[in-house]
Chains A and B, each alone.
Chain A
Amino acid sequence: MLTINIFFPLFTGLIILLFPKDKGKAVRITALAGTLITLILSAIILAGYDVSKGGMQWITDVPWIPSINAGYTIGVDGLSLSVILLTDVLMLMVMLYVVDKRDRAKEHAFLFLLMQTGLLGLFSSSDLLLFYLFFEIGLVPMYFIIGIFGSERRKYAAMKFFLYTRAGSLAMLISFLSLYLSVDPHTFSLQRIIQAEPFAGSVQTGGFVMLGMLIGFGVKLPTFPLHNWLPDAHVEAPTEGSVILAGIQLKMGAYGILRVMIPALPMAVSHYNFWLILLGIFSMVYAALAALAQKDLKRLIAYTSINHMGYVMTAAGIWGLTQSESIKQLALNGAAYQIISHGLLTGGMFFIAGMLQHKAGTRDMDKFGGLLGVIPIFSTLLGILAFASLGLPGFSGFIAEFQVIGASVGENIWAAICIIAGLILMTALYLKIIVNMLFGKPPDDMPAVSELNNRNSFIVGMLICISLFLGILPGYLTGLIQSGTKLLTGIL
C-alpha cells in the first residue's frame, strides 16, 4: 500500500507522457486528479496507522541488492506520515494553481509528479541507499523546473542550485558509505545501523561522518554558510517551484537530520552539540538580518526560510546538549512541528508573492503601498500569513517555536535569547511587509493590481486554515509526531 502511494504520482506522470501534446487541459486535470488520489492514499495510510502503538508501521522489507545488503525497506511513523501529508497537500495546491497554465504542460506536470514520488519515497525509506536514491529523484526535477520554467537568470540559478545540492548529496553519500562499512555485517538498513551504534568508541571519526551529513543536509536546510544557492533559486524559480522548494525540498534536509543524523550518530551529535547550536542560531540571526535588507519580496521570504529552518538545527544541538529525555523530546517535537508549519506558511507566502508578481509584473516591495484599500482579499491573506509567520499564537508557527525555545531555555538561556533576538528581527521584518505594502496610500507609480480570483484565494486560504487548525488544536499532530520522535529518542 505504501509502495502504491509512493509510485502513484510517477504512474500518473507516465500516463501524462502518453497524452498528445495539445491536450493541455486534460494533462492538467489528470495531474490534479493524480495528486488528489495520492493525498487520499496517504490519508488511508494515516487512518491505518496506530498512533497509540507508535513506531514504524506499514513496513515492506524485501532484499533489493542482496550482495551489498541493501533492501527495499520502507515504512512510516508519525514523523514521516506528517511530512508525507504535507507533501501531498502542497503538491495538490500546486497542481490546482497551475491548472490553467498551458505552456509545456506535459513536461511541467511530469517533472512535478516525478519529484513527488522521490519525496514520498525519501520520507518512507528506512534504508540508506534507498534514501539516497529517492533524495536524487527528488532533486533532479527541480533543476529542470528552475532551468526551463524560471525567469531571466534561471540558468545561473539552476546551475547554482544543482552544483550545491550535488556537492551536498555526495558528502552525504560518503557518510552513508562509511556508516555502511562501519557495521558488521555491512548493511544499509537504517535500523540495524542504529542498533549497532557505529563509531560509539571514536567520537572524532563519528564527527567526520556527521560532518558529511551536515554538509548534505545543511545545503538543503539550508544553513549558513551553505545557503548561497537558495535566494537565487527562489527568485528565479516559477511560483509553483518556489512553493515546493521552500515547502518540501528544504524539509529533506531537516528530515534527514531528524531521521538519520541524530539516531545514527548520537554520540557525535552530543559531543559537538555546541557547534550545532551555534550553527543554528547564527544562521537564524544572520538570515533575519539579511532578510531585513531585501527589497524583492521573494528574496526576502527565501531568507526567512533560512531563519525558520535554523530551529531544526538548533533543536538537534539541544538534543545533544541535554540529559533529560523530556527536553530531548520537546526539542525534536518542536523541530518536526516547524517542518510542517513552515511548509504551510512559507508555501502560502510564495504563492502569494507569485500571485502578486503575476498581476503587477514586479516583486519590488518599494513599488507597493496601501494595497489594503485596493485589493482587500489579497491584503488580508498576506497580512494573516505574515502574522502567522512571525509566530503569533493561534497559528502553527507559535507551537513549533515555543517548543524549541522551551527546550533550549532550561539548558542554555543564551541560546534561547539569541533565538528570541532573531524572532524580534523577524517581527520587524514581517511588520515591514504588512505596514509598508498594505497600509498607507498607494504610490503614484504603483503597477496595476487586481484582486485574487476564487481559486487562488482558496489555495492560500486553505493553507492558512490548516495552519490555524494546527495552531489552535495542536494535540493531534504533536501526538502523531511524538509517536515517531519517541522512537528516535527511545532507542538511545
Chain B
Amino acid sequence: MILLLLIPLFPLAAALILLLPGNLFRDKAGIISSSFTLISLILIILLYSTSGKIDMIWFSTAGLNLTFSLMIGGLEWLASLITAGIGLAITIFSIKFIDERRQYFFRVFSFFIGSMLTLVLSDSFILTFISWEFVGLSSFLLIGFWFKEQDAKEASRKAFLMTRIGDFGFLLALLLILVSFGSTDISSFLNSLTGQHNLSPVLLSFLFLMAAIGKSAQLPFTSWLPDAMAGPAPVSALIHSATMAAAGVFLLLRLFPLFQASEITLTWITWIGGITALTAAFTASTRYDIKRILAWSTISQLGEMFFVVGLGGALAAAFHLTVHAVFKAGLFLTAGVIGHSAGTKDIRKLGNLRRYLPYTSAAFILCGLALSGFPPFGGFWSEEEIMSETLKHGAAYSSFMLVLIFLAGVYISRAWSAVFADWKGNSNIQADKPGMMIIYPMLSLGFLAVISGFLLKLNIESLLPFPSFPSIGWGWRSASIAASVSGLTYGTLRVLKSGPVPSFGSVFSYLTNVVDAFVILPVKIVRFASEMVNSFEGILDSAVKTVSATVLVLAKADDGAEMVFDRTAKSLSSFIIKSADSVDSCEVTGISHWTDKFAFSFSAAGKGLSKIQTGKIFVYTLIVFSWIIIIAFIAGSFFVFR
C-alpha cells in the first residue's frame, strides 16, 4: 500500500523540486511537472480495483489523536484517476502554452494536483480539510497568476474569500466530530453513524453542505467561479474540471451516507442544485466572453449533479462528474487556444475560425456534443443515468432535466457557431495555428469525451459502492435526444441568423445581478460595521484624552501638589530600600508614587524629547527604576548568602 502514499507525493515532490531558487528549471519545469504527474497516473492505474488504507498519527493533543490516513476504494480510485489524468493532459498542454514565469506556474500547478489527489484519497477529516484549504490556496495563486491585471486581482480575492466562508462549515463539522467522536477517521465515522454519540446528522450535513456549496460555486456562493477565468486557460480548465469546483461534489459523494441520514439536507441539496442549474444555464446563454459561457455552464452542470445527489442518485452524480471533467477540460483548453490565437475571447469579434483552427474546432465539437447529451457522446450516458434516478421521483423532475439538456445544447452551440461558423456579419478575424504540443492534449480530451461515457457505463456500477437503477425506457430516451438536438439546432440557427445575441433575449443577463446581491449586501454590512467600530475607537480615544485632561487640570490646580509629591516620593523610596520586608508599605509607595508620576507626566506633556531625558520625569522614573533594581539585588544577595 506504499504505492497509495506515493500517488499524492509525486506531484507534491515536483512542487518541492521547483521550489528551488531562481529559474533553475525554467524550460524543464513543465517536463518535471508532467512526468511526476504521469508517475502518479500510472500508480493509480496499477491500483485498479484494489482497496486499502494507510494510517498515520499526525499528533495528539489533550488525549485526541489526529490521524492522517489515505484509503482507496472505487470512488477514490475514479476521482484520483480524473485528477491525475486530466491534470496530466493540461500540464502537457501548458508546456508550450505558458510562456512566462514557468517555474512558478508549474510549481503551483503540481502543488494543486498533489493537494487534490490528497483530498480525494484522504480518509481522515483533518487531512481532507487541510488539502481542501490547499486546493483553495493554489486556486488563489493561479487565478492571480497575472497579478498585475485588475480583474485577476479581484477574482483571486473573491475566489479565496468566498470559498473560505464555506470552508469554515467544514471546520466546524470536523471539530464537532473530533471532540464528540474522538477520532477524525472518515470510514469509521460513516460506519457508526447510528452509534452512541450525540451528534445530529442534520447539523453536520448542513455544515458540510456549506463547504461543498462554496467550492462548487452553487447559489449563493456562485459569482467567484465565472470571475475565476481571469487566470490562464489551463488553470480554468483544471479548476472547472477535476479540482476545485469538482471538490464540492466529491465531498457530497464521499460523505453520502451522512447526507442520506438527513432527509431535510437532501431536499435542500436538490433545490439549491436545481435553481443553480437553471439560473446558470440561462446566464450562460447571455454571455459574450467564451470563457464566461463555459464557466456558467460549469456551474449549471455542477448544479445538475447537486440536484441528482439530493434525489439520492450518487451513482449518477459520480458518473456525470467524471464525464463532465473530461469534456469541460477539453472545452477550456480550446477556449485558451481561441483566445491565444485570435487575440480575443469575445464571441462578437470572432467568427469563421474553422479555417484557421480546424483541430480546435473539432475538439470543441466533440466536447460540446458530449456536454449537450448528444448520443453516443459522454454526456448522453451520464444524463441518462440522471434521468433514470429522477424518474423514480416523478415525471416533473425528469422534465426539468429535459429543460436543462435543451439549454445546454443552446448555449454550447451558440458558442461554437459564434466562434467557428461563418455567421452573417462576422469580422473574419485571422488566427495563428497552434503547435502540436497544444493540439494533442486537446484532441485527446475530445476523443475521451466521446468514449468515456460508454466505457464508464460498462464499469461504473461494479466500481462504485452506490445503488444502481434500471435503465430508462425508450420514451424518455428519445425525449432527451430530442431535447439535445433541438437545443443544438436552435442555438446554431439563431447565431447564423442574427449573430451571437443572447439566445433568449437579454432579460436573463440580469439574473446575475440577483446573484451578486447575495455578495454585495454582506460586504456592505461588514463595511458599515467596520466604520462604526472605527469611529467608536475614535470616541474611546477622545474619552481617554478628556479624562486625562481633567486629571491634568486637577493636578495643576494645586500648586503645592508637586512639592508634596516630591517629598513623599523621595522619602518613601528611601523608606522602601530600608524596609523591603513590609509589603504593605510597598503597596502604599507604589500607589502614591505613581499618582505623582501621573500628575507629573501630564504637566510635562507637550515639551520636547530632550526634556524627557533631562527633566524631572526622567529622574523620577529612574528613582522607581533603581527601586526595582535594588529589590532585585536584595533578592540576589539572599540567594548568594545561602
Contact = CB atoms under 8 A, between A and B. Distances in A.
Given A431-B161, A439-B152, A475 B537 contact: no
A405 B526 contact: no
A289 B171 contact: no
Interface string B571-615: 000000000111100010011001001100110011001001100
A387 B137 contact: yes
B526 A289 contact: yes
Contacts of B395: none
Contact of B583 (A60, A70, A154, A394): A70
B632 interface: yes
B179 interface: yes
B583 A64 contact: no
Given A159-B601, A424-B168, A440 B179 contact: no
Given A163-B598, A330-B179, A424 B164 contact: yes
B625 A410 contact: no
Given A393-B133, A439-B144, A148 B587 contact: no
B148 A370 contact: yes
Contact of B147 (A372, A394, A432): A372
A143 interface: yes
A160 interface: yes
Nearest to A290: B533
A64 B638 contact: yes
A423 B164 CA distance: 10
Contacts of A67: 581
A475 B57 CA distance: 10
A474 B65 CA distance: 12
B624 A140 contact: yes
A474 to B, nearest CB: 5
Interface in A163-190: 163, 166, 170, 173, 177, 180
Contacts of A372: 147
Contacts of A393: 129-130, 133-134
Contact of B635 (A64, A160, A370, A409): A64
A398 to B, nearest CB: 8
Interface stretch (A40-48, A129-137, A260-268): A129-137
B459 interface: no
Contact of B628 (A68, A133, A170, A407): A133
Contacts of B609: 147-148, 154-155
Contact of B62 (A130, A162, A329, A387): A329
Contact of B61 (A148, A425, A482): A482
Given A155-B605, A405-B171, A423-B168, A482 B134 contact: no
A65 to B, nearest CB: 5
A491 interface: no
B59 A473 contact: yes
Interface in B58-110: 58-64
Interface in A275-300: 286, 289-290, 292-294
B531 A293 contact: yes
Interface string B126-158: 000110011001000000100110101110110
B62 A155 contact: no
Nearest to B533: A289
- B interface, how many residues as a size bin? 35 or more
Nearest to A473: B59
A240 B606 CA distance: 25
A177 B144 contact: no
A115 to B, nearest CB: 12
A478 B587 CA distance: 39
A290 B537 contact: yes
A389 to B, nearest CB: 14
A327 interface: yes
B519 to A, nearest CB: 12
A371 to B, nearest CB: 10
Interface in A108-158: 129-130, 133, 136-137, 140, 143-144, 147-148, 154-156
B534 interface: yes
A143 B628 CA distance: 15
Given A72-B638, A292-B530, A473-B59, A416 B64 contact: no
A392 B534 contact: no
Given A64-B635, A72-B635, A427-B161, A373 B59 contact: no
Contact of B172 (A286, A416, A432): A416
A18 B172 CA distance: 58
A107 to B, nearest CB: 9
A156 B605 contact: yes
Interface in A55-83: 60, 62-65, 67-68, 70, 72
A228 B545 CA distance: 11
A373 B638 contact: no
A403 interface: yes
Contact of B638 (A63, A410, A423, A424): A63
Contact of A440 (B64, B147, B598, B635): B147
Interface string A417-451: 10010011101100110010011110000000000
Given A62-B638, A62-B642, A326 B63 contact: yes
B474 interface: no
Contacts of A63: 638
Interface string A212-251: 0000000000000100100100000000000000000000
Given A63-B638, A410-B176, A478-B59, A392 B137 contact: yes
A244 to B, nearest CB: 18
B472 interface: no
A222 to B, nearest CB: 13
A371 B239 CA distance: 27
Contacts of B625: 140
Contacts of A403: 61-62
A273 interface: no
A97 interface: no
A349 B258 CA distance: 42
B243 to A, nearest CB: 17
B197 to A, nearest CB: 11
Among A129, A170, A289, which residue has the most Cβ atoms of chain B within 10 A? A289
B175 interface: yes
A435 B130 contact: no
B152 A392 contact: no
A478 B171 contact: no
Interface in A370-416: 370, 372-373, 387, 392-394, 402-403, 405-407, 409-410, 413, 416
Given A148-B612, A409-B172, A440-B148, A177 B587 contact: yes
A475 B64 CA distance: 12
A289 B172 contact: no
Contacts of B534: 289-290, 293-294
A3 interface: yes
A2 B540 CA distance: 43
Contacts of B47: none
A346 interface: no
Given A290-B530, A482-B61, A137 B175 contact: no
B148 A410 contact: no
A71 to B, nearest CB: 9
Among B129, B534, B606, B624, which residue has the most Cβ atoms of chain A within 10 A? B534
A270 interface: no
A5 interface: no
Contacts of A407: 179
Given A148-B612, A435-B144, 13 more contacts: A64-B635, A70-B583, A137-B628, A159-B601, A228-B537, A289-B526, A293-B533, A294-B534, A327-B179, A330-B62, A405-B171, A425-B526, A478-B60
30 contacts: A68-B581, A130-B635, A147-B612, A148-B612, A148-B613, A156-B605, A160-B544, A163-B601, A170-B590, A173-B590, A289-B526, A289-B530, A289-B533, A292-B527, A330-B61, A373-B148, A392-B133, A394-B134, A406-B178, A409-B172, A409-B179, A410-B175, A416-B175, A420-B172, A428-B161, A435-B157, A439-B152, A440-B153, A473-B59, A482-B61
By Cβ-Cβ distance, the 4 closest A-B pairs, closest first, are A293-B534, A475-B59, A329-B62, A330-B62
